[in-house]
Amino acid sequence: MAYDHHTPHTEPGPGGGPAAPGTGAPHARQGEPGSGAGHGGPGPGTAEAGHGSPHDGHGHARHPHGTDVDWAAMAEQLETQAELYTPLYERALAWIGKEVTEPGLIVDAGSGPGVISCLFADAFPGARVVAVDGSGELLERARSRAERLGVADRFGTLTGELPQALDDLEYPADLLWASRSLHHLGDQQAALSAFADRLAPDGTLALMEGGLPMRWLPRDIGIGRPGLQARLDVLEEEWFTRMRTELPGSVDVTEDWPALLTAAGLKHTRTRSFLLDLPAPAPDRARAVVAARLGRLREIVGDGLDAEDRATVDRLLDPQDPASVHRRPDLFVLTAHTVHTAVKPH
């Protein structure tokens, strides 16, 4: 199998396995992280980052009715948000590391620009990390980040559509991480089963799905009607439902993630949520993330707001307005992401 020219040469990793998987042919893929409403997943506001994200693999996800997202065009936003959320991700990785102690291969399924992939490389210095995504542009950013951080010698990329792209891995993963990418695949149960198939015996699947929607302002912000974010949440949930319905092969499923992991043949499920709490007055990076998210919401769900709420959003986005998210002193960031893990039996 041919190796991506950015993929490091093959060396034995822990356990004697080959150090880098090969790359497959590029495909359009679905999935990458973000901050949606109650799903905690990529909603129209942003994705993460870290990715496969509201996420058609960070490629160009085309759906009717305003659910079209070009993840590559949002690369800078994805990186900025993931960097802001780094303390949350680091705590999640530390929690995973209490049970996954010496993985040989870590796969980030739906990696986006690779912020979390590189955090894995730092947290597990004996592991090789492979970032998998549908966008070549985002993976190029991931490779550049790995080079800047000095982990490129054990960092590879794989371009392709999830979950099929995982078939191009040359050996099974000891840890497979999927951050907000699963809910952009039509059949989530089938995708989880495919993820489980790519695990080594006793390998761990770590799934970041669910949590709490991001909050950044008080209920009453002094302009417009109180409760603006709650109304945006409702519109975002409706957007998310349309997005899910319009995915190819969409299958309705109760989002009981531990039960879905068990149905995929895994055992020993665990769940924990991680908080990001940046109190007011928020730093400039947080303001940039909030402004980008609110601007995206205005673009995608703004037609569902009444005239007064649209005017309030416009004021919040105006850098010259003292009441805007760029300048007001009461801006904060508060959210939680939930991680579910399970283990593949021998």
Tens-place pLDDT, residues 135-162: 999 999 999 999 999 999 999 999 999 9
**Other Cβ atoms within 10 Å of 150 Cβ, number:** 11
The pLDDT of residue 73 = 78
57 sits in the region (left: phi over 0; alpha: psi -120 to 50; else beta) called left
CATH code, residues 14-213+260-273+338-343: 3.40.50.150
**Other Cβ atoms within 10 Å of 8 Cβ, number:** 17
Q: Smallest Cα–Cα separation from 127: which of 145, 161, 151, 99?
A: 151
Digitized pLDDT (tens) for each residue of the chain, 346 residues in all: 222 333 333 333 333 333 333 333 333 333 333 334 445 444 444 443 333 333 333 333 434 334 456 767 778 889 999 999 999 999 999 999 999 999 999 999 999 999 999 999 999 999 999 999 999 999 999 999 999 999 999 999 999 999 999 999 989 999 999 999 999 999 999 999 999 999 999 999 999 999 999 999 999 999 999 999 999 999 999 999 999 999 999 999 999 999 999 999 999 999 999 999 999 999 999 999 999 999 999 999 999 999 999 999 999 999 999 999 999 999 999 999 999 999 999 8
**Other Cβ atoms within 10 Å of 95 Cβ, number:** 16
Alpha-carbon distance of 64 to 87, in angstroms, equals 36
Q: Smallest Cα–Cα separation from 131: which of 120, 187, 18, 72?
A: 120
Q: Smallest Cα–Cα separation from 308: which of 211, 227, 203?
A: 227
**Other Cβ atoms within 10 Å of 101 Cβ, number:** 10
The three-class DSSP label of residue 323 is: coil
Alpha-carbon 302 to chain mean position: 24
Residue 120 structure tokens: 């894995």
pTM over 0.85: no
Q: Could you tell me the CA-to-CA distances from 70 to 121, 135, 184, 239 in Å, in that order?
A: 27, 10, 13, 16
